[in-house]
Copies of this chain bind each other. A is one copy, B any other.
């Protein structure tokens, strides 16, 4: 097998359940892991905090929760209390339309902070669902706000997190509004690639954590179109796919879907 060499810790355990019906995280005693010892610190928390400030932050975010594939981190309509920093694993967020249509608004991986969209209404406007066994740090928002009044660095960081989310959403809008299926999928793969690279994993070989249907929902395509486009990429030697294993063979070729397309 050529595919998938690294990211071992991200692989779903063979025992992963199909999602637990109670939507409760599996009971596991809340672990205490310090932010200062966390390898993801740079991604989710601000740099430049003093030791004392770091400790304040750790006290706030001490609660960790574990999830199995299919578990809800939070649900559309439930009260907002906390943001969540993903320590490990993979989530999707989705909004549901009354008529049953769903839109996957994003896929989130370790080091990313999730739940910012709930601040405005005090209620979560979407679902967040684990796509593999995952762990999050809970960040009670009221306390985070209080602390950020004392720590300008933290305040600034929080603002940047929210703003970055807006920018990300805008680039998805660009994708959905003006790209063809091939371009959308290429952009999607390259985006995953960059994010894996930023976390020290191979940017060219990884396991997809989501189904074709979920990719399609995120990209505004039907699952058949996603599947066909994967196959087309493979025939053109751009990638190698087999089910959820992907290898990006021709990165420049994938990138070419943007600059050149409309010339």
**Complex Cα gap A121–B126 (Å):** 26
Q: How far does the alpha carbon of A166 sit from the alpha carbon of B174 in the complex, in Å? A: 15
Nearest CB of B to A126, in Å = 7
Nearest chain B CB to A159's CB is how many angstroms away? Answer: 5
A99 interface neighbour in B103, B150, B261, Cβ under 8 Å: B261
For A105, the chain B residues whose CB sits under 8 A away are: 170, 173-174
Q: Which residues of B contact A172 (CB under 8 A)?
A: 173
Of all A-B residue pairs in the complex, the 10 with the closest CB atoms, nearest first, are A119-B163, A120-B163, A177-B220, A169-B169, A176-B176, A120-B164, A162-B162, A103-B174, A117-B166, A99-B262
Which residues of B have CB within 8 Å of A160?
Answer: 119-120
A170 touches B262 (CB 8 A): no
When A105-B170, A169-B166, A259-B99 are in contact, do A145 and B152 touch as well, CB less than 8 Å? yes
Find chain B residues with CB under 8 A from A103 CB.
170, 173-174, 177-178
A162 touches which of B156, B159, B173, B178 (Cβ 8 Å) = B159
- In the complex the two chains form, what is the Cα distance from A171 to B98 in whole Å? 13
CB distance B149 to A155 under 8 Å? yes
How far is A165 from B200 in the complex, measured between Cα atoms in Å? 32
A170 touches B118 (CB 8 A): no
The 0/1 profile, CB within 8 Å of B marked 1, for residues 205-246 of chain A is 000000000000111100000000000000000000000000
Q: A121-B163, A145-B159 are in contact. List 18 more A-B contacts (CB 8 A).
A: A95-B174, A97-B178, A97-B258, A99-B258, A103-B174, A105-B170, A120-B167, A125-B170, A148-B155, A149-B150, A159-B162, A162-B163, A169-B169, A169-B170, A172-B173, A173-B176, A177-B218, A178-B220
Considering the complex, which residues of chain A in the window 181-205 have a beta carbon less than 8 Å from any beta carbon of chain B? none
On A, residues with C-beta under 8 Å from B are: 95, 97-103, 105, 116-121, 125-126, 145, 148-150, 152, 155-156, 158-167, 169-174, 176-178, 217-220, 258-263
- Tell me whether A167 and B99 are in contact (CB under 8 A): no
Contact B261 A170 (CB under 8 A): no
Please classify the interface of chain A as helix (H, G, I), strand (E, B), loop, or mixed, using the class held by over half of its residues. helix
Can you name 23 A-B residue pairings with CB atoms under 8 Å? A95-B170, A97-B178, A99-B262, A101-B178, A103-B170, A103-B174, A105-B170, A117-B163, A118-B163, A119-B162, A119-B163, A120-B160, A120-B166, A121-B163, A125-B167, A145-B155, A145-B156, A149-B150, A162-B163, A166-B166, A166-B169, A169-B173, A172-B173
